[in-house]
Structure 1
């Protein structure tokens, strides 16, 4: 397969893309942090300050509770006097990240979403909700699951809407839903009915959530190493992009910031061109020469950035860019799946300096596995690592340390 977005498995209701048993008390992890900080010249990300009112716009992005296995790794590192590593993993968990929702009953997801948005509002922070429950999720592969059918999915979305209410939220709507359609993975019928249903489901969610007072909805546009602009734009249109705030890029992948910014600009510009009646096939894509593409944009797209569709990017693991697999070694290198030597990327921010980019976010939870990667071998070991990777969504201690050690910018100061 080509380069792919992968999101963490979300097997329990309201879970934030995390696995494990009852979380350790955060005060225990804080004690570990104190020991680690005493031995390093590290300034951890500050905790969100509480705010008494919810009427003003959120001042920061929300940091949810960490994966309990991350807390356990921090404690283990402190016990073994690996204090700098402990501080690094702590810094990673203290960085604002998305809260993942998949599976679960409508009542469960309503209560869990409401708890998250209320907690975020209390801290005057904006929560990022990654919704991951589309029927046929992930082509029934590593992160298989999701609602059984369209009516169940619509009921689940209605519950999310009730949970958000009038409080602020940014919604990352169904990673892989448009870049990985049923028709892309042999799961459709001859009439294409499952792909049609997918578009219906996504558009339903947009119509349900975007009108909420404080909610912005972003649709799946894959990443710059996957679909061409000419291919992804019609998918976005069919999914209801006209009624959404915009689209998201690079969830669970590794493309560089500059590459994503250009790809996002091309998609936004093509959407503007299509909305004025032009065909998506005419638009420049990411493989055009930059000067030629810019000349086309100058000639054909005249809308102001404020009138165009905006985007957000996932920078949780792109600090070192994508992994280049060794040539000729693997029949399926799975370059998206727990690639070695990656690092966390730019810190989440709502101030990007790009008039089309609303935010850089950590959507994929850094430190959680993409799945059990075998790279075309018989497995079960990951041949790049020499051992078996954790299942999708489970904490991956070795990878967590890689992301800390290779962070760009560094997590430790």
Structure 2
């Protein structure tokens, strides 16, 4: 009797979730309420829930039809949780202005803060899985102008160009001996910062990779050169899987080192994330004197880090690509601006959970992903198998 009752409740929840998802995402209301939090004591922040990937609706409907009610409700809950809207170039600047205007208008109507991930810088992703972007600096600047016009005077949190600073053209052999493309990258980011930060309701965060990538001493000079003093700070872990504690510590070290360097200090004196923590804390106490309100702040992507990073089997793949559709990962902490850390402005879902990272071959000839035994969807396409993994392995678990 108890088992039957649970099945009935699950079925009703799944059907309700499907109806709400189809009806403009109202199922996210509970998660938005859960995410209404205080940012550094300055007031509540409700985060915006964009429309889901259309293929997510299809998956939910198919799960309901197959009577997989718990999974259906879980996927519905996932796609109606606040998350970023990714904006790319489409060859028509007027269309991006209209799209941005619609998003910020809808968010304002809901009294919510939209998170916009701008992803159109020339040579993005070193021309790998997510290759594309504007053709040149002039085209990129024109695109940024249209984004800014679309925002107008409304509120928006900008995640500016994932991988733009952690993966410079010089990092992947795309640049010439004079560093022409890397210099252009800094100019493009500088222009975006200047243009977007001038909007009264816009907050901009710069790319700082994640705690398993660049050392503190490596990423800080890039942030300084990109003009971090004119932004709210930086973001960490976009589309990656590093654990919350690791990210929070890395963010604290990066913030402290930026403040130290901007005060005339040598970046070589900053502790890295691999330094002894007691020694690093002592260094911060001695050398970082600014009030937390005056230091660079950071936000983190917790969309898929519930189980932390994937550890590939030893010597099984020529190039494990631990960032690319790793198996058995889970959703992370729900988006919120209440982090308990004065430097940590928010946990966000920057990467859209359920969308593929690309065709992951892990150094093999393919066409299958050897870690999954299947051909992964192209970058940005819905990945039903991964969506179910994220839901089932969520940490903390999704509410029923």
Q: Which of 87, 91, 100 is 1:113 aligned to?
A: 100
* 2:374 is the alignment partner of 1:392: no
Verify the 8 A CA contact 2:331 2:390 in the aligned structure 1: yes
* 2:161 is the alignment partner of 1:174: yes
Offset at 1:44? Answer: 5.7
Offset at 1:169? Answer: 0.3
Q: Could you say what secondary structure the match of 1:61 adopts?
A: coil
Structure number with the bigger relative contact order (C-alpha 8 A, sep ≥ 6) is: 1
Q: Which of 68, 87, 90 is 2:73 aligned to?
A: 87
* 2:58 is the alignment partner of 1:75: no
* 2:199 is the alignment partner of 1:212: yes
Give the structure with the larger helix fraction: 2
- CA distance in 2 between counterparts of 1:94 and 1:114 reads 21
* 2:119 is the alignment partner of 1:137: no
Counterpart for residue 313 of structure 1: 300
Offset at 1:108? Answer: 1.0
Counterpart for residue 50 of structure 2: 64
Unpaired runs of at least 5, structure 1? 1-29, 38-42, 50-55
- Shift in CA distance, 31/261, structure 1 to aligned 2, threshold 3 Å: closer
Q: Which moved more, 1:58-67 or 1:76-85?
A: 58-67
Q: Could you say what secondary structure the match of 2:29 adopts?
A: coil
Counterpart for residue 23 of structure 1: none
- CA distance in 2 between counterparts of 1:309 and 1:73 reads 41
Residue by residue over 1:261-305, the C-alpha shift from the partner in whole angstroms, topping out at 9 and shown as x without a partner, is 000000000000011000111100101010011111111111110
Offset at 1:33? Answer: 3.3
- CA distance in 2 between counterparts of 1:193 and 1:212 reads 30
Counterpart for residue 24 of structure 1: none
- CA distance in 2 between counterparts of 1:90 and 1:165 reads 32
Q: Which of 282, 285, 290 is 2:272 aligned to?
A: 285
Residue by residue over 1:99-158, the C-alpha shift from the partner in whole angstroms, topping out at 9 and shown as x without a partner, is 000111211110000000000000000000000000001111100000000000000000
Aligned length: 373
Verify the 8 A CA contact 2:255 2:295 in the aligned structure 1: yes
Counterpart for residue 251 of structure 2: 264
Counterpart for residue 231 of structure 1: 218
Offset at 1:35? Answer: 7.3
Residue by residue over 1:182-210, the C-alpha shift from the partner in whole angstroms, topping out at 9 and shown as x without a partner, is 00000000100100000000010000001
Offset at 1:331? Answer: 1.1
RMSD: 1.8
Q: Which moved more, 1:105-114 or 1:249-258?
A: 105-114
* 2:86 is the alignment partner of 1:100: yes
Output the TM-score relative to the length of structure 1.
Answer: 0.88
Residue by residue over 1:311-351, the C-alpha shift from the partner in whole angstroms, topping out at 9 and shown as x without a partner, is 00000000000000001111100000000010000000011
Please show how residues 290-305 of structure 1 align to structure 2 within 5 Å. 290-305=277-292
- CA distance in 2 between counterparts of 1:44 and 1:114 reads 24
Please show how residues 299-378 of structure 1 align to structure 2 within 5 Å. 299-378=286-365
- CA distance in 1 between counterparts of 2:276 and 2:82 reads 36
- Shift in CA distance, 262/90, structure 1 to aligned 2, threshold 3 Å: same
Counterpart for residue 122 of structure 1: 109
Offset at 1:57? Answer: 7.0
Verify the 8 A CA contact 2:28 2:49 in the aligned structure 1: no
Verify the 8 A CA contact 1:36 1:83 in the aligned structure 2: no
Q: Which of 46, 52, 55 is 2:29 aligned to?
A: 46
Verify the 8 A CA contact 1:157 1:208 in the aligned structure 2: yes
Verify the 8 A CA contact 2:28 2:82 in the aligned structure 1: no
